[in-house]
Structure 1
Amino acid sequence: MDWMAWTWPTALFFIIIASTLIVFTVLAARYPETPRRGILGMETTRGDRLFITLLGSAFINLAWLGLVGASQPWALLVCLFYAVAVFRFV
């Protein structure tokens, strides 16, 4: 880990993101999906919903950090509920 001066939480974050992208790539190859229309009225695929979830979670965490402080486990719980909502309804 010294070659980039990363901390373990930072490395774990990027490992989880890379693993998620690999899983979604395998799912897309194995189980092709046709786009579906959600409550926003636009067609989205699994990858689109993953991108919306990651982007929204980043904003949730930044807002939480700015408004509440460093207690991030609750922000991650909010992100989990957000992810479930995006994959279910968008």
Structure 2
Amino acid sequence: MKWMAWTELTITFFTVIATILVAMTIYEIKKPCLERKGFLPIETTRGDRLFIGLLVSGFIYLGFMAFTDFNLYIALAISVVWLCTVLRWG
């Protein structure tokens, strides 16, 4: 991964995303879900909420890298909280 100049945190971030996708796929196969409406303005399935959560988490991470000098663990923590919130109540 040195050719891409990735940090260990970035590699961890994308590894966690891949692991979540595999886990959610297995969970969806074993226990299919129905659409429901939470705080998001649309009816969503578990996969929809995962996609929305991961998309916004990616933007949070990129925003931290582009606009701040803060530790990237803060962006990771915010992304995890956001993803858990969307999956639970979205």
TM-score (norm 2): 0.78
Q: Which residue of structure 2 lines up, in the alignment, with residue 56 of structure 1?
A: 56
Separation in 2, partners of 1:8, 1:72: 10
Q: How does 1:20-39 map to 2 (within 5 A)?
A: 20-39=20-39
Determine which structure has more spread, i.e. the larger CA radius of gyration: 1
The residue aligned with 1:17 is 17
- Larger relative CO (CA 8 A, sep 6+): 1 or 2? 2
TM-superposed deviation, 1:67: 2.6
Structure 1 spans left out of the alignment, 5+ residues: none
* Structure 2, unpaired ranges of 5+: none
Question: Which residue number corresponds to residue 67 of structure 2?
Answer: 67
Equivalent pairs, count: 88
Inter-partner Cα distance in structure 2 for 1:8 and 1:52:
25
Structure in which a larger fraction of residues adopt strand: 1
For the aligned residue pairs, the C-alpha RMSD in angstroms reads 2.2
